[in-house]
Chain A
Amino acid sequence: MLGELGMRGDGGGCGGLVNAPCPFSGVLAHLSALETESVRLVELQREAWRQQATREELCATVERLRAQRDQLRAKVLSATSLQQVMTEVDQENEEKRSEEEKSAGDSQLHMSLLTARLSHVKNLLRAHHLIGGYDITETRRGKGVCFSIATAFEDRTLETYNVEMDLARTMRICRHNIPPFIPLERLAQENFQSDIMAFLDSLSMHLNAYVGRRQQVRLIQELFHGSVKVLESNALCSILVLRCRQVGEKKAAALCTLEYGDPTRCLPTRVTIDSEEKTLTDSPQWNEIQALFLETPAHQALLAIRREERIA
């Protein structure tokens, strides 16, 4: 600015002010006066702008506060109206509405509804676990999960088996306590990556069937201590050879062989009965017994046969 003024002063100003005693000093004084004036004006203008901006800002704040006030007013109105409505309703049927009276506003009501729903879901999960569903727990800060599979036989809860999985890269089993004769790897290969529920279902079927068969052997040993002898069984309990004595003078021994061909079931797929007395094994009663073994758990079948007094 100073430079521009100075240039003009040098060019035009010198020619115009001829009468001045010292033309240069007068021009310079004038110029400096003009300069201070212009600086003052600029300052004033800036001040004005600043004030304008502040005013605008304040206006905006006022506007916002007004809106807020209106909102609050509306809220208060609605709340009071809700309260009015509720008190009116309450007055109409106080006994029914005693619970709602306690909740002061709709937000609180909402919260309590959510809490109720959460506890409901939790209870459902717990119930699901209690009736033998899979329990799932997060492990290693979300990098893995642990499934627990509960097993039961005839209303009795037996072992709980666990499979811990690593979810970091691809899903894979990292730890478990499944017995070695359950074909876990084969089941995992079949439908592990695609359908986790199908995998868990088939695993659960294998485990429940195994536990069920084992429990039958235990029950036979407990209930028929001395009368029925378990001659042979194996780790998977897929074969069971029983020796029992028939009622009668001869007390002929009978040998029942139960073969559990389907590892997912706790009932045998084949039953053969050999007896010292050949005539008995061909009789219709023995066929009946054979059918009974195929349809009911072994210990129950034996109990039924004993009730009919066919075995000692």
Chain B
Amino acid sequence: MEDVAKELLSRLVRRIPLVRLRHVLGRWERLSKTQLLSLDFTQPKWALCENLLSLCEENEIAVKDLTEIEMLYRSEYPDQGVWHVFQLVDTSEESLSSDFMHFRDQFKANLKDLINHVSIKMKKLEDESVWIRIAWGGNFSRPNHLKPTYVVHHLQTPYVFVSSLANKHKPLLFQALALSAHCGSVKDVNLSGRCLTALRDLSMRQYKQVFPSRHQKRLEERDLLPNPSIENEHIKLAEYKQQVASEVFGDGVLPKLETAVYKLETKYREHGSENLARRDEPFRGVVKFSSSNLLESLKYCVSSGMASTPVTPLLSSITHKGRNYFVIKDKQHGSVPNTSASKF
């Protein structure tokens, strides 16, 4: 076996927890049943790695097959690393009729035209998502399988989710994507997070949204106020708050977004501290909200009355626009803060 393969395998074994490794190896289909049974998952990892290496050498397994383990692992457990969401803009009608085979061939051909040394692996999962693993190489170096970029694209939709992409590879990937997905360009939508499904649900609006309707269904979660007499007094207000919160952030299980970042580039406004207010250049600051489930937290803030209603566009933009990175600047004329688009 090549050294690269050995290094890749030992790295995978080190990184993947044992329970998951067992599951992934079971799905891998390169080891026979007896070989799988012979592996002892209670061993320390280095010993397990040695055993696996010998089995792989026995089966003459190459780097290509080992990358499959990694791909299986990443697609089965996608909530690792930070995913960034990009949008394909100016899509043509052709993009609606593209199928996987066509897209795969196009993408591989386009990317290999742009860069010589690159290793691409693609597969389509049952949920119609296309997973792409790209190992980049340099002009004179072979593809580096230890730092691959992962791209997830749902065909016919304008969204692409990218993990661990270096800046120098960005234009190459985007050009190949634009050509093979029949779109004009690729745009950063300023949405990122660890949970891939949450990002997908948020950008494709697949979570349960609440819309005002004349045939209003009663929302769940009514036990906001424990005292029955107070509840009677406040029930209308509480219902209104609950309704507003659900309309802004959704109902049921909300996408698991962890952070929202607001970069302030506005003038400092406060009476009293003249020194800061008189400065010409903007007062720079970053406000970061983090939570294990940010949308749930914000929704609770609104429904419990901690945040005022109607909800400020700064918070409602997270769900309405599907982004969690904002740059707030002063308008050129006037003083209303403006949420403008920006680059990372």
Chain A residues engaging chain B, CB cutoff 8 angstroms: 129, 135, 137-140, 146, 148, 162, 164, 174-181, 183, 232, 234-236, 238-239, 261, 263
* A140 vs B240: C-alpha distance when bound (angstroms): 12
B288 at the interface (CB under 8 A from A): no
Asked if residues A179 and B204 are in contact (CB atoms below 8 Å), the reply is yes
Please name 16 further chain A to chain B contacts, defined as beta carbons within 8 Å, in addition to the given A234-B128, A236-B96, A239-B97, sorted by A numbering: A137-B212, A146-B213, A162-B209, A162-B211, A164-B211, A175-B209, A177-B211, A180-B157, A180-B159, A181-B96, A183-B91, A235-B156, A236-B156, A238-B96, A238-B97, A238-B156
Asked if residues B213 and A140 are in contact (CB atoms below 8 Å), the reply is no
Asked if residues A235 and B128 are in contact (CB atoms below 8 Å), the reply is yes
Number of A-B residue pairs, CB cutoff 8 Å, is: 64
Partner of B213, one of A148, A175, A181: A148
Q: Show 9 A/B contacts (Cβ-Cβ < 8 Å), sorted by A.
A: A138-B212, A148-B211, A180-B157, A180-B203, A183-B96, A235-B154, A236-B156, A238-B96, A239-B99
B320 at the interface (CB under 8 A from A): yes
* A179 vs B154: C-alpha distance when bound (angstroms): 12
B155 at the interface (CB under 8 A from A): yes
A residues less than 8 Å from B310 (CB atoms):
140
* A181 vs B91: C-alpha distance when bound (angstroms): 11
Partner of A181, one of B157, B203, B211, B215: B157
Question: How many whole Å from B320's CB to the nearest CB in chain A?
Answer: 5
Interface residues of B in 190-237 (CB under 8 A from A): 203-205, 209, 211-215
B158 at the interface (CB under 8 A from A): yes
* A174 vs B99: C-alpha distance when bound (angstroms): 31
Question: How many whole Å from B190's CB to the nearest CB in chain A?
Answer: 17
Closest 9 CB pairs of A and B: A162-B211, A180-B157, A181-B156, A180-B204, A177-B209, A139-B212, A137-B212, A235-B156, A236-B156
Asked if residues A235 and B213 are in contact (CB atoms below 8 Å), the reply is no
B residues less than 8 Å from A261 (CB atoms):
97
Question: How many whole Å from B210's CB to the nearest CB in chain A?
Answer: 9
User: Interface 1/0s, chain B 127-143, versus A by CB < 8 A?
Assistant: 01000000000000000
Question: How many whole Å from B20's CB to the nearest CB in chain A?
Answer: 28
* A263 vs B159: C-alpha distance when bound (angstroms): 20
Residue on A nearest B211 in the bound complex, by CB: A162
Question: How many whole Å from B180's CB to the nearest CB in chain A?
Answer: 16
Question: How many whole Å from A209's CB to the nearest CB in chain B?
Answer: 12
Asked if residues B320 and A174 are in contact (CB atoms below 8 Å), the reply is yes
Asked if residues A176 and B157 are in contact (CB atoms below 8 Å), the reply is no
Residue with the highest number of chain A CB atoms closer than 10 Å, among B91, B93, B214, B215: B214
* A235 vs B95: C-alpha distance when bound (angstroms): 12
Partner of A137, one of B91, B155, B158, B214: B214
Asked if residues B204 and A135 are in contact (CB atoms below 8 Å), the reply is no
A residues less than 8 Å from B320 (CB atoms):
174-175
Given known A146-B212, A148-B211, contact A178–B128 (CB-CB < 8 A): no
Given known A234-B156, A235-B157, contact A178–B205 (CB-CB < 8 A): yes
* A234 vs B93: C-alpha distance when bound (angstroms): 16
Interface residues of B in 14-50 (CB under 8 A from A): none
A residues less than 8 Å from B159 (CB atoms):
180
B residues less than 8 Å from A179 (CB atoms):
204-205
Interface residues of B in 89-124 (CB under 8 A from A): 91, 93, 96-97, 99
Residue on A nearest B101 in the bound complex, by CB: A232
B residues less than 8 Å from A177 (CB atoms):
205, 209, 211
Question: How many whole Å from A97's CB to the nearest CB in chain B?
Answer: 38
Residue with the highest number of chain A CB atoms closer than 10 Å, among B159, B203, B211, B212: B211
B residues less than 8 Å from A139 (CB atoms):
212
A residues less than 8 Å from B212 (CB atoms):
137-139, 146, 164
* A291 vs B46: C-alpha distance when bound (angstroms): 63
* A54 vs B268: C-alpha distance when bound (angstroms): 69
Asked if residues A135 and B214 are in contact (CB atoms below 8 Å), the reply is yes
* A155 vs B291: C-alpha distance when bound (angstroms): 45
Residue with the highest number of chain A CB atoms closer than 10 Å, among B97, B209, B310: B97
* A234 vs B213: C-alpha distance when bound (angstroms): 31
Asked if residues A235 and B214 are in contact (CB atoms below 8 Å), the reply is no
A residues less than 8 Å from B211 (CB atoms):
137, 146, 148, 162, 164, 175, 177
Question: How many whole Å from B26's CB to the nearest CB in chain A?
Answer: 25
Residue on A nearest B204 in the bound complex, by CB: A180
B residues less than 8 Å from A234 (CB atoms):
99, 128, 155-156
Residue on A nearest B128 in the bound complex, by CB: A235
Question: How many whole Å from B255's CB to the nearest CB in chain A?
Answer: 13
* A148 vs B158: C-alpha distance when bound (angstroms): 24
A residues less than 8 Å from B91 (CB atoms):
183
A residues less than 8 Å from B99 (CB atoms):
232, 234, 239
Question: How many whole Å from A61's CB to the nearest CB in chain B?
Answer: 49
B residues less than 8 Å from A175 (CB atoms):
209, 211, 320
* A173 vs B156: C-alpha distance when bound (angstroms): 21
Question: How many whole Å from A206's CB to the nearest CB in chain B?
Answer: 11
Interface residues of B in 256-270 (CB under 8 A from A): none
B residues less than 8 Å from A180 (CB atoms):
154, 157-159, 203-205
* A261 vs B154: C-alpha distance when bound (angstroms): 20
Residue on A nearest B216 in the bound complex, by CB: A137
Question: How many whole Å from A79's CB to the nearest CB in chain B?
Answer: 40
Question: How many whole Å from B295's CB to the nearest CB in chain A?
Answer: 15
* A137 vs B93: C-alpha distance when bound (angstroms): 32
Residue on A nearest B127 in the bound complex, by CB: A235
* A175 vs B313: C-alpha distance when bound (angstroms): 13
